[in-house]
Amino acid sequence: MRFSFLLLLVGTAAFAADPSIGKKLVFSDDFNGDKIDESKWNVVGAPEVFTFVKFGKGSALRIGLKVKDDMIQYNSLASRGKFSQQFGYFEVSMRMNAGDGHAGTFRLVTDDEKTPPSITTSFHGTGKERVSPWARGNLESGSQDYRPDKAVGKFTDLSKKFHTYGILWTEKGFTWYMDGKAIHKLERKDFVRPMSLALVHRIDEDDRPRLVLKTLPDDVDIDWVKVWK
């Protein structure tokens, strides 16, 4: 049974206000340095794929891929155990990967994701200038995917420049924002436990057959992360 009707496409006029207005900035990282701030982040995966690159007057975090025999991998910068909160607005400035067969992802995850009710919400970029809002809830009855019925739009430059991806979480549910515009909404009140952030570049078994090795490197870049409460 599908529950995608809970993921509703909403007009931008209905959610025109800046979701950070009236909130306090409680967590941020502009990645203007040459090393990861270990007071904020845990490195998951191959440490060597996390590097810093110059952009304008500052720098950005680059998450690459490790070339190995099977190429299945999960490289993530995660705040679990160092920062999480209940409700608020979570936003990242991110440049997605260009090619198919791997994915750049900005996600929020319930701290104890194995104990229901818990949820993972994300922006999921799969190359070829595609990105989509996505959520998976873990309920007593089992896991449940919440996906849009239709594509949220056609894009041409997700891999060429930075865009902002935001998730507003309230007691009523979740709203996804791209470049300040609300694009989707999930109305669920089940999920209330604190969530942490993760910035991910990964290849799973389903993606791997579409990966063309000669297209690498094809990295994911993060300019900054901000969280308001």
Q: Do 201 and 219 meet the contact criterion of CB atoms below 8 Å apart?
A: yes
Contact 186, 168 (CB under 8 A): no
This model's pTM is above 0.95: no
Which pLDDT does position 16 carry in this prediction? 53
The pLDDT value given to residue 147: 87
pLDDT at 170: 97
What architecture does CATH give domain 4-228? Sandwich (2.60)
Domain ranges of the chain: 4-228
> Do the beta carbons of residue 191 and residue 137 sit within 8 Å?
yes
From the first residue on, what is the mean pLDDT of each consecutive set of 10 residues in the chain (229 residues)?
Answer: 39 62 97 94 96 90 93 96 98 97 97 94 95 95 90 91 97 96 94 97 92 93 98
Interatomic CA distance for residues 64 and 200, integer angstroms: 10
At residue 33, the pLDDT reads: 87
